[in-house]
């Protein structure tokens, strides 16, 4: 089986071809559930987090807080800061790495 996000896209496509509104709703609910699971998985790794459009908004904030940072998500990306450190901004596609002492940003490739 492929990535959960791929499976969710397949469910969405199938929902578009469904004949009944009940079946459409079931398929879309399953797709939403799979995207939710995939998003939670992304935030489960304490050492790194890649920011994608599929990641729910609360995941990066929770991940940063778990490392002692305050964060805010806006149009410019994820801004995070810890006392005594300058604010950093990560954009969609960037990966946040925790080295045991601080978060560093790996810019998207």
Q: Please identify which residue in the block is written with the tokens 């079946």.
A: 23
Q: Residue 2: what pLDDT?
A: 53
Please tell me whether residues 37 and 70 are part of one structural domain.
no
Q: Residue 53: what pLDDT?
A: 83
Which residues does 90 contact at the CB level (< 8 Å), separation at least 6? 51, 77, 78, 80, 96, 105
Residue-range definition of the domain harbouring residue 94: 46-109
Give the tens place of pLDDT for each residue, 66-87.
Answer: 999 999 988 889 999 999 899 9
The CA distances from residue 25 to 7, 31, 35, 85, in Å, are 16, 10, 15, 47
Domain count of the chain? Answer: 2
The list of the chain residues with pLDDT below 70 reads 1-2, 109
Task: Report d(CA 13, CA 9) in Å as an integer.
Answer: 6
Please tell me whether residues 80 and 96 are part of one structural domain.
yes
Please tell me whether residues 38 and 51 are part of one structural domain.
no
Please tell me whether residues 58 and 98 are part of one structural domain.
yes
């Amino acid at each position: 089986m492929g990535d959960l996000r791929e499976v969710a896209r397949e469910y969405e496509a199938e929902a578009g071809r469904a004949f009944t509104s009940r079946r459409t709703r079931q398929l879309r609910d399953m797709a939403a559930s799979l995207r939710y699971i995939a998003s939670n998985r992304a935030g489960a790794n304490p050492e790194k987090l890649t920011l994608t459009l599929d990641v729910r908004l609360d995941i990066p904030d929770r991940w940063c807080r778990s490392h002692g940072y305050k964060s805010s998500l806006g149009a410019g990306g994820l801004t995070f800061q810890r006392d005594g450190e300058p604010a950093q901004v990560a954009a969609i596609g960037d990966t946040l790495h925790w080295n045991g002492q601080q978060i560093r940003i790996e810019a998207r490739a």
